[in-house]
Amino acid sequence: MKAEAAGATDAEVVDRVRRGETELFEVLMRRYNQKLYRAARSVFPSDPGEAEDVVQDAWVRAFAHLSQFEGRSSLPTWLVRITLHEAWARARRLRRSEPLGDVDADAPDATKRRKEFTMNVASPAPDPETDAAGTEMRGILEAAVAALPEGYRTVFVLRAVEEMSTEETAESLEISTDAVKTRLHRARGLLRKELFARAGASQPALYPFAGARCDRIVAAVLSRVGAPTPGLDILA
């Protein structure tokens, strides 16, 4: 039954769940779990566990209020809005309950705890070197996104990562489309700076031209123009 419903539209699945086929709720969960998890991680960028709890709570709330979904917005937009409200509420509770000594003063958000940075690692690739490089790059990117102010980070995740439209993002966050555009622009600017900093690189240090490469070009050009070449056989 679930396999048959996998190709159904959101509206069709919602209608069938409302009529008692509650097992089909899994179809919606499989369809939008990643979207909701990413939305939750935009509030808890360094705490996957909290993000997972948020997603679970959001799905339970969505199921309980499925009869109230009127279709005025798309289902994923409605679900993301529920997820963000759950995440913000949880963050407020944590801020009230967490002792000051447990808060990392250097964290980009007040809710960040002293936990080792973790991330979802993709399935192992056939090439261990490629997989290691991809994991390292993903870690750098996730850390850079985590360093964004929350308002910018959430917009960036919804727009750039989940590729939601400006209108869908605005509706999910209950802000104007102009605010979405402004925050996305600023997020991208901050992210570029943060990526350079976390990668240990700066624009002047990019594409270095020195050492053997410089020697090789010098020797090759001198040889082509008939000038004396360096004594070292650097072209070998």
Indicate the domain borders of the chain.
2-205, 207-236
Helices (H), the chain: 2-5, 10-18, 25-41, 48-64, 75-97, 128-146, 150-156, 166-173, 177-198, 212-225
- The structure tokens 């490089």 sit at 133
Per-residue model confidence as pLDDT tens for the chain (236 residues): 667 777 899 999 999 999 999 999 999 999 999 999 999 999 999 999 999 999 999 999 999 999 999 888 999 999 999 999 999 999 999 988 766 554 343 334 433 332 332 333 333 445 555 566 667 778 888 888 999 999 999 999 999 999 999 999 999 999 999 999 999 999 999 998 888 777 665 455 556 676 787 888 888 888 888 887 766 554 44
- Residue 44 and residue 48: Cα distance in Å, rounded? 7
Instruction: Report how far apart the first and last C-alpha atoms of the chain are (Å, whole number).
Output: 68
Pick from 179, 109, 182: nearest CA to 145: 109
CATH number, domain 2-205, options 3.40.50.2000, 3.40.50.10490, 1.10.1740.10, 3.40.50.720: 1.10.1740.10
* CB count in 10 Å sphere of residue 163: 10
pTM beyond 0.85: the answer is: no
